[in-house]
């Protein structure tokens, strides 16, 4: 019996999920690209990070972040329950491992909007084999500054801190499998979709191939004896 295939050509229900990491300096567009990616494919889920910072206006606990007190966050880290964690701008951020592992084993892709520190931890984790890492670069530093100001989320002091940190973020671009310059959001998004579609077909993401090749070998041996 022939199994049905999905939009990427994978056999339905047989593909392992991907951990899709998007990293960039603040303001380069990774969050917007992550949202577009999930609109393009509703089967994608967003990894809800835990953080010790206070909620911003409109953010909901359990949807945008899991908002935790610092002792509770540190306790989870000490128990090994975080896939990755980092201290950024005076607050802790991290990704609980259990829901991510469950999604990957069920064949569901999970999108991560994290910095280079978190990306390295995931790539070096047991789930690193199933990780797709993409770094988003801004077209220029003046444009990055303009975007941070225009989005109106942070004070002038915080924007300055983000800009001062931007080069440290950018300097880690070589540690990623793919790098995209976000000079045009629509063009960058089209390239992002192509990358995700291709990576879903990686050999490691298709465990059914072992049985398929074994069956081909059996058919070959049977045919050669006949």
How far apart CA 220 and CA 155 sit, in angstroms, is: 68
CB atoms within 10 A of CB 66: 17
Contact of 83 with 96, CB cutoff 8 Å: yes
Domain assignment present for 215:
no
pLDDT single digits (tens) 31-47: 899 999 999 999 999 88
**Tokens describing residue 222:** 């049977």
Domain count within the chain: 1
Q: Which of 201, 31, 41, 210 is nearest to 132 (CA)?
A: 201
What is the 8-class DSSP label of residue 54?
Answer: P
Burial degree of 94 (CB within 10 A; 0-12, 13-18, 19+): buried
Domain assignment present for 96:
yes
Q: Please give the residue range of the domain that contains residue 57.
A: 19-205
pLDDT single digits (tens) 146-171: 888 888 777 888 888 888 888 999 99
Q: Which of 127, 122, 140, 139 is nearest to 176 (CA)?
A: 122
Percent pLDDT > 70 in the chain is 93
The three-state secondary structure class of 112 is strand
pLDDT single digits (tens) 53-74: 999 889 999 888 999 999 999 9
Considering the chain, what is the average pLDDT of its residues? 88
pLDDT at 11 over 80: no
Domain assignment present for 174:
yes
Domain assignment present for 214:
no
Contact of 151 with 115, CB cutoff 8 Å: no
> Angle CA(16)–CA(85)–CA(130) in degrees, nearest 5?
15
Domain assignment present for 225:
no
Domain assignment present for 33:
yes
Provide the pLDDT confidence category of residue 112 given band limits of 50, 70 and 90.
very high
Domain assignment present for 193:
yes
Provide the pLDDT confidence category of residue 226 given band limits of 50, 70 and 90.
low
pLDDT single digits (tens) 86-100: 888 899 999 989 889
Angle of helix 141-150 relative to helix 156-170, nearest 10 degrees, comes to 140
Domain holding 143: CATH number? Answer: 3.40.50.300
Q: Which of 20, 74, 23, 85 is nearest to 47 (CA)?
A: 20
Q: Are strands 110-113 and 66-67 parallel, antiparallel or unpaired?
A: unpaired
The whole model's pTM is what? 0.80
Q: 13-52: string of b/e by CB count within 10 Å (b at 16+)?
A: ebbbbbbbbbbbbbbbbbebbbebbeeeeeebebbbbbbb
Handedness of CA 153, 37, 182, 184 (dihedral sign): negative
Domain assignment present for 142:
yes
């Amino acid at each position: 019996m022939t199994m049905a295939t999905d939009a990427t050509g994978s056999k339905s229900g047989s593909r392992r999920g991907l951990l899709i990491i998007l990293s960039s300096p603040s303001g380069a567009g990774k969050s917007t690209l992550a949202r577009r990616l999930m609109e393009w494919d509703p089967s994608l889920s967003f990894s809800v990070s835990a953080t010790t910072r206070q909620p911003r206006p409109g953010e909901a606990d359990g949807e945008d972040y899991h908002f935790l007190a610092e002792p509770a966050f540190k306790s989870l880290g000490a128990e090994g329950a975080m896939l990755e964690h980092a201290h950024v701008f005076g607050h802790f951020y991290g990704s609980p491992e259990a829901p991510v592992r469950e999604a990957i084993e069920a064949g569901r892709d999970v999108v991560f909007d994290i910095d280079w520190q978190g990306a390295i931890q995931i790539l070096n984790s047991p789930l690193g084999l199933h990780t797709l890492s993409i770094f988003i670069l801004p077209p220029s530093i003046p444009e990055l500054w303009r975007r941070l100001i225009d989005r109106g989320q942070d004070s002038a002091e915080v924007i300055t801190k983000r800009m001062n940190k931007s080069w440290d973020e950018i300097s880690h671009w070589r540690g990623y499998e793919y790098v995209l310059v976000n000079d045009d959001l629509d063009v960058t998004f089209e390239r992002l979709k192509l990358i995700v579609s291709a990576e879903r077909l990686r050999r490691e993401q298709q465990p059914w191939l072992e049985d398929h090749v074994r069956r081909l070998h059996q058919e070959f041996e049977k045919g050669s004896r006949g």
